[in-house]
Structure 1
Amino acid sequence: MRAFHRYVHRFLFTITSAAVILFLAFGLFLFYDRSTRINSDTLRDELGFINVLIRSVHDHARLGNRESLEAMNKAAEEARRALPPRFFDSGTETFLHQLADSPSEEELRAAVTELGGIARRISASYYENREQSRLVFIGFGLSMMVLVGILLALALRFHLEHTRYVGRGAKLLESLERILNFESENIDFSPRWLEEEELLRQVEGIAAAHRSNRELAEHRVYGTLEAFIPRMREILSHSVPCDRLAVAFVDTAGHVIAESASSVLPVTHLEPGFIEELKDTSLGSILTSRKTRIINDLPRHYEEIHQSESTKLILEEGIRASITVPIEIQEIMAETTRAFVSLMERKDNETSLHIIRMSRYSYILARELAKSDSSITPMMLREILWFAPLHDIGKIGIPDRVLQKNGPLDGRERSLIEDHVNIGLSVIHSMNSGVNRIIDLELLNTAENIIASHHERFDGTGYPRGLAGKDIPVSGRIVALADVFDALTSKRPYKEAFSIDKSMGIIEAGLGSHFDPDVYAAFLKALPEIRLVYDRYKEI
């Protein structure tokens, strides 16, 4: 397949070369024509000298006086100077000299005969020169006509090719426009030139990206990333080779947790729930820069730049290149909820350290419980960490006189306090509805479960719905224990902080009635990590 720009270059080279040849040929013709004209004029002048000499000889033969002899001698001298040597042999030269010495009548007749021969030779040369000029002119004219015709044909062909080239490009762009306007699905185009082939590749790339965007826009996601990731991988595969698409999140404790994955590979080594320290990975720079990272040679990256367990696992799956993209949509939602928590701190006696402690207690408990409870997905772990601080967000709607009362609450006041659950749910429902107007993804379901159920009791005597046992969402059971543990181990206006051991004794007394025994068992297993959080963020 030829390149159109090379065709243009060849055409311009041909036209330029032909123009140069035409110019040179015309110059040579002018030079030849001028030379021929000069030669013809010279022959005509020479013939004139001969005719003058012949007339002077005739005059002398008729008159025979001294004046006619002098005129004849003068004409002979002028002819000898003017005529080229090719017209004279030795006899003719001798003859011209004899004309100066009173030639006889016989010598005069011989002179006329000789001069007539010279005149005939000059005339023959003159007409031969004229004929050659005529033939050269005809040949040059025909050659120029042929050359100009060829140039015009080339120019016409180039014009047609250029018009077709532009028209085909416009047709290709019209095909793209129809695809962008959802009027067509495919591009019907066969490239003739390399440039058209390149343009077709670009148009197909744009069309593929548009189809992917269209599929993403038309694909409604109801639920979780687990439902969305496989479809996303399928859509991306139209334009980007994608064997595995996965999502991981980074918690506030510095862990990277594999959350969801979709793969076409026969084996999976890096599975959802895999946890690795952020410091042991190379993802820290992405969190800082918030820019996409592309690794084209993953084995070399692993051997020469950074070795991590997660990279090792995906190499074992057969992955050889990767693209890592930071996603911040749900984190923005989490930051929004933290703003609500900050507002709530101004109304309640709970401090920001309490928010940090109980959210991390909840996350540690959930992570430990996930080892034996498959319903706790990596996504739920992340959402518990982010949304546990919202458990009492409804308290922003409770009067300060009730919320900050130091003494016992009466029945009406207790009813107001318990209503904070409904207020909190109303706030979260409004946030979720706003999100759903943009994308069909329930980002705050876990937050709703935490708010609605963290005051439920395991024996069914809690509020607001009186749920019991496993009917209470696991996120609510986890946050209930974490919240009470932090309340017991923290100082309040109405009490001093209890020790961890005393607090655990109080919680143990409520097992089966207030708290889920399985959650408490996970609490015991994670107690060393719980103590680290307590020591780091305790009130001073």
Structure 2
Amino acid sequence: MPIKDLRGCKVLVVDDSEANVDIMVDALGDDYDVSVAMDGHAALEAIYESPPDLILLDILMPGLDGYEVCRRLKAEATTAGIPVIFLTAMSEVGDKTRGFKLGAVDYITKPFEVLEVQARLKTHLSLVLASREQKQQNEILEEKVQERTRELLLTQDVIIHSLTTLCETRDDETGGHILRTQFYVDTLAKRLLSNSPYTGQLDLDMIRLFFKSAPLHDIGKVGVPDAILFKPGPLTQREFAIMQGHCELGRRTLENSEKLFLDKNIPSFLVHAKDIAHTHHERWDGSGYPRGLAGEEIPLSGRIMALADVYDALISKRAYKQPSTHDQAADIITQQIGSHFDPVLVEAFLAVQNEFQAIANRFADPEQKPPMPDSREWPPQNAKRQGPASP
């Protein structure tokens, strides 16, 4: 780095010898902003008041010696990064080692050559400026990454909102079901994160993606004919087979959306959405659909969604049934441990069932459709409550 780039750098010379100070000022004053201190206490006061870019520090001084001054500087976050070069007549290896252990970057032995001092200062100040420039570049890069992340989060929300709105056009009653199951999934996953055999498989970022993805679990129902989707009575075997197809259709729909909208170099949040849509009707014992997966073959997100979906279906009024109470729903879920549901998830559900009840009550009123959650607010606190669930 050219020396002209270093002009204006602040150098503090600390030495109790006026002769040494005069030599340093003469040698460095034309190139740098040089200040001086004649003892350790004065040096610390000057440094805290106006931190220099580099310190030339004598070791043998009355009061606070250079070692103690250096130790105090390195112990404080605001001054730890200032490079210290020791100036001393002490030339033993042990003396130098002690200085380096305290955090000094270099060691100049008295009597010193002016040209050597100038060369060493130039080297270390160049490193200081290079480090600052790198830090600035990193901050700029981090800001760009954050901006890109915000854009991706917005894109995710737009996709979720668009696809969920598509679901709601088929059924006016799905809004409350979407919000309730979203919060059930969040509550259950957080319980698993804090205390379960699956703790190591989860983190808050993943749970956040589960929360975002949950509204898309039934998106495949857009391909189910109205006569089947809204049938008030039991489905025939053929009709039920068509209804089962919504899992595969949901997976394909989300896969196509993923290909169209998302950056191919960034892992997609729709990976979880696809798993949820595709596997939320699988059963722990392998008797579910569409693939008959069993146990941990079923993605954890799908197992969580399955319990949340069934609970909400049980407590919700449908065209063909009255709602169950919470206790009735909890009993049914408990009876299906190891058959329909993962035993670990049922245990977690029972531990947080009061929260499930609160969520069901919170989003039970059929006042108006709730807004889609904002990526900046997770879980959303301003969602309006909504009515009964869809078939």
TM-score (norm 1): 0.41
Output the CA distance in 2 between the equivalents of 1:441 and 1:419.
27
**What's the offset of the Cα at 1:416?**
1.0
**Residue 342 of structure 1 contacts residue 352 of structure 1 at CA under 8 Å; is this kept in 2?**
no
**Residue 183 of structure 2, aligned match among 360, 384, 396:** 360
- Residue type of the partner of 1:338? H
Structure 1 residue 472 corresponds to structure 2 residue 295? no
Q: Give yes or no for the alignment of 1:452 onto 2:278.
A: yes
CA change 1:327–1:239 in 2 (3 A) is closer
| Residue pair 2:213, 2:269 contacting (<8 A) in 1 also | no
- Structure 1 or 2: larger helix share? 1
CA separation of 1:488 and 1:404: change in aligned 2, threshold 3 A:
same
Partner residue, 2:192 = 369
Q: How does 1:85-100 map to 2 (within 5 A)?
A: none
d(CA) in 1 for partners of 2:320, 2:139: 61
Provide TM-score, normalisation by structure 2. 0.55
**Partner residue of 1:335 out of 158, 166, 173:** 158
Tell me, in whole angstroms, the C-alpha distance in 1 between the residues paired with 2:162 and 2:271.
18
Residue-pair matches, total: 243
Alignment map for 1:96-135 (pairs within 5 Å): none
**Cα distance, 1:238 vs structure 2:** 6.3
**Deviation per CA, 1:94-135, whole angstroms, max 9, x where unpaired?**
xxxxxxxxxxxxxxxxxxxxxxxxxxxxxxxxxxxxxxxxxx
Cα distance in 2 for residues equivalent to 1:533 and 1:326: 33
1:530 deviates by 1.7
- Alignment partner of 2:322 out of 496, 510, 522: 496
For 1:326 and 1:433, how far apart are their aligned partners in 2? 19
Once residues 294 and 246 of structure 2 are traced to their aligned partners in structure 1, the CA distance between those partners, rounded to angstroms, is 20
Q: Kindly state the Cα deviation for residue 365 of structure 1 after the two structures are TM-superposed.
A: 0.3
Structure 2 CA distance for aligned equivalents of residues 362 and 237 of structure 1? 41
Pick aligned residue for 1:513 from 326, 332, 339:
339
Distance in structure 2 (CA, Å) of the matches to 1:2 and 1:523: 68
Unaligned ranges ≥5, structure 2: 6-124, 367-391
In 2 relative to 1, CA 239–527 (structure 1 residues): closer, same or farther, beyond 3 Å?
A: same
Question: Amino acid of the residue matched to residue 534 of structure 1?
Answer: A
Corresponding position of 1:393: 219
Where 1:496 maps in the other structure, the secondary structure is coil
Of 402, 415, 418, the match for 2:228: 402
Say which SS state the counterpart of residue 381 (structure 1) adopts. Answer: helix
Going from structure 1 to structure 2, the CA distance change for 1:484 and 1:351 (only over 3 Å counts) comes to same
Q: C-alpha separation between the residues in 1 aligned to 2:205 and 2:263?
A: 22
Alpha-carbon distance between aligned partners in 2 of 1:386 and 1:443, rounded to the nearest angstrom: 8
Q: Which has the higher contact order (CA 8 A, sep 6+)?
A: 2
Deviation for aligned residue 1:443: 2.7
How far apart are the structure 2 equivalents of 1:361 and 1:525? 13
Is residue 394–residue 427 contact of structure 1 (8 Å, CA) maintained in 2? yes
Structure 1 Cα separation of the partners of residues 280 and 299 of structure 2: 9
1:455–1:462 CA contact under 8 A, matched in 2 = yes
CA contact (8 A) 1:454 1:479 kept: yes
* 1:532 aligned residue (319, 335, 358): 358
* 1:347 paired to 2:173: no
Cα separation, 2, equivalents of 1:511 and 1:331: 39
In structure 1, stretches of 5+ residues that fail to align are: 4-196, 209-235, 246-291, 293-322
Change (3 A) 1:324 1:416: closer
CA RMSD of aligned residues (A): 3.6
Q: CA deviation at 1:237?
A: 8.8
For the residues of structure 2 that align with 1:454 and 1:531, how far apart are their CA atoms?
Answer: 21
| Residue deviations 1:463-501 (CA, integer Å, cap 9, x gap) | 111011111111111100001101111111111221100
Residues 416 and 2 (structure 1), Cα distance of their counterparts in 2 relative to 1, 3 Å cut: closer
1:55-66 correspondence runs (5 A): none
Amino acid at match of 1:363: D
Structure-2 separation of matches of 1:352 and 1:341: 9
